[in-house]
C-alpha cells in the first residue's frame, strides 16, 4: 500500500512539476544539461542497484536497465526541482515488489547528491559535494568523496575509501570499513565490526 501511495504521489508531482523526461519504461537513457553546483536527488521506489559517478562532463546522464529479470511495469522519470534535478523510479502494478534494476547516474564532480532507495547496493564515486541518504538494504561503497557525508543502509556493509569528508556513515547490521580517509567522519554500526585503516581525523573548526 505504501508503495502504491508513493507512486500516486509521483504521478501527482509530475503533473505540476516541469518534467525533463516524462515517465518512461525501462530501458531508459537520457542526458540533461546540469547547472553549476546543482543537486541531484534520487527517489528509487522500485529499488535496485545504483551507481553514481562524478566526472568532468557538464551533463547529468541517467541510464536504467534490467539486470536480468525484466520489469514491464517499471517507470523512470526525471524532472527539474528548485535546486537541480530529481530522478524517480516506481512500479505501476507490483507496488510492493522491488525490481532488479541497475540505475547508473553520471554527474559533474561538483554536485550534491541525495538518495532514498527502497533497497539495493549503492556505489558512489568521485563526488565533491554533499552526499546524503539511505537505502533499506544493500552494501554502501563510497570512493573518492570530498565534502559533508551522512548516509546509511539498514542492512549491509559500508566501505569508505580514499576520501576527505566530515559526517557519518552507518549500518544497522554489517561491517563498516574506513580506509585512507581524512577529515572528521565516524563509522557506526548497530550490529557488526568497525575497521579503520589509515584514518586521520582533523577536528572541525568551532
What is the pLDDT confidence band of residue 204, given thresholds at 50, 70 and 90? low
Question: Looking at residue 205, what is its pLDDT?
Answer: 59
Q: 138-151 burial, b if ≥16 CB within 10 A, otherwise e?
A: bbbbbbbbbbbbbb
SS3 letters across 31-79: EEECCCCCEEEEEECCCCEEEEEEECCCEEEEEEEECCCCCCCEEEEEE
Q: Report which of residues 117 and 38 the model is more confident about.
A: 117
Residue 156 and residue 134: Cα distance in Å, rounded? 11
- Position 4 pLDDT exceeds 60: no
Candidate from 1-5, 81-85, 106-110, 182-186 with smallest mean pLDDT: 1-5
Question: Looking at residue 180, what is its pLDDT?
Answer: 98
Q: What is the mean pLDDT of the chain?
A: 88
Question: Looking at residue 10, what is its pLDDT?
Answer: 45
* 96-149 tens-digit pLDDT: 788 889 999 999 999 999 999 999 999 999 999 999 999 999 999 999 999 999
- Position 3 pLDDT exceeds 90: no
Question: Looking at residue 133, what is its pLDDT?
Answer: 96
The mean per-residue pLDDT over the stretch 174-203 comes to 95
What are the C-alpha distances in Å from 144 to residues 40, 49, 196?
18, 19, 16
Q: Report which of residues 4 and 130 the model is more confident about.
A: 130
Question: Looking at residue 2, what is its pLDDT?
Answer: 40
Residue 107 and residue 85: Cα distance in Å, rounded? 11
* 141-187 tens-digit pLDDT: 999 999 999 999 999 999 999 999 999 999 999 999 999 999 999 99
DSSP the chain: -HHHHHHHHHHHHHHHS-EEEEEEESSEEEEEE--TT-EEEEEETT--EEEEEEES-SEEEEEEEESSS--TTEEEEEEEETTEEEEEEEESS-TTS---EEEEEEEESS-EEEEEESS--EEEES-BS-EEEEESSS-EEEES-EEEEEEEESSS-EEEEEEEEEEEEEESSS-EEEEEEEEEEEEEESSS-EEEEEEEE-PPP-
Question: Looking at residue 16, what is its pLDDT?
Answer: 41
Structure pTM?
Answer: 0.88
Amino acid at each position: 500500500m505504501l508503495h502504491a501511495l508513493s507512486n500516486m504521489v509521483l504521478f501527482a508531482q509530475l503533473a505540476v512539476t516541469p518534467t525533463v523526461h516524462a515517465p518512461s519504461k525501462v530501458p531508459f537513457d537520457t542526458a540533461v544539461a546540469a547547472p553549476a553546483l546543482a543537486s541531484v536527488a534520487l527517489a528509487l521506489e522500485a529499488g535496485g542497484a545504483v551507481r553514481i559517478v562524478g566526472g568532468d562532463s557538464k551533463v547529468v546522464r541517467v541510464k536504467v536497465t534490467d539486470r536480468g529479470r525484466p520489469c514491464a511495469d517499471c517507470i523512470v522519470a526525471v524532472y527539474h526541482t528548485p535546486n537541480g534535478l530529481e530522478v524517480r523510479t516506481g512500479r505501476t502494478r507490483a507496488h510492493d515488489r522491488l525490481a532488479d534494476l541497475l540505475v547508473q547516474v553520471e554527474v559533474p564532480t561538483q554536485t550534491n547528491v541525495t538518495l532514498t532507495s527502497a533497497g539495493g547496493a549503492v556505489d558512489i564515486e568521485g563526488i565533491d559535494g554533499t552526499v546524503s541518504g539511505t537505502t533499506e538494504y544493500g552494501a554502501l561503497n563510497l570512493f573518492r568523496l570530498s565534502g559533508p557525508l551522512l548516509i546509511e543502509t539498514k542492512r549491509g556493509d559500508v566501505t569508505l575509501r580514499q576520501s576527505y569528508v566530515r559526517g557519518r556513515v552507518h549500518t544497522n547490521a554489517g561491517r563498516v570499513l574506513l580506509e585512507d580517509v581524512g577529515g572528521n567522519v565516524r563509522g557506526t554500526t548497530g550490529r557488526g565490526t568497525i575497521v579503520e585503516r589509515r584514518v586521520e581525523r582533523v577536528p572541525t573548526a568551532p
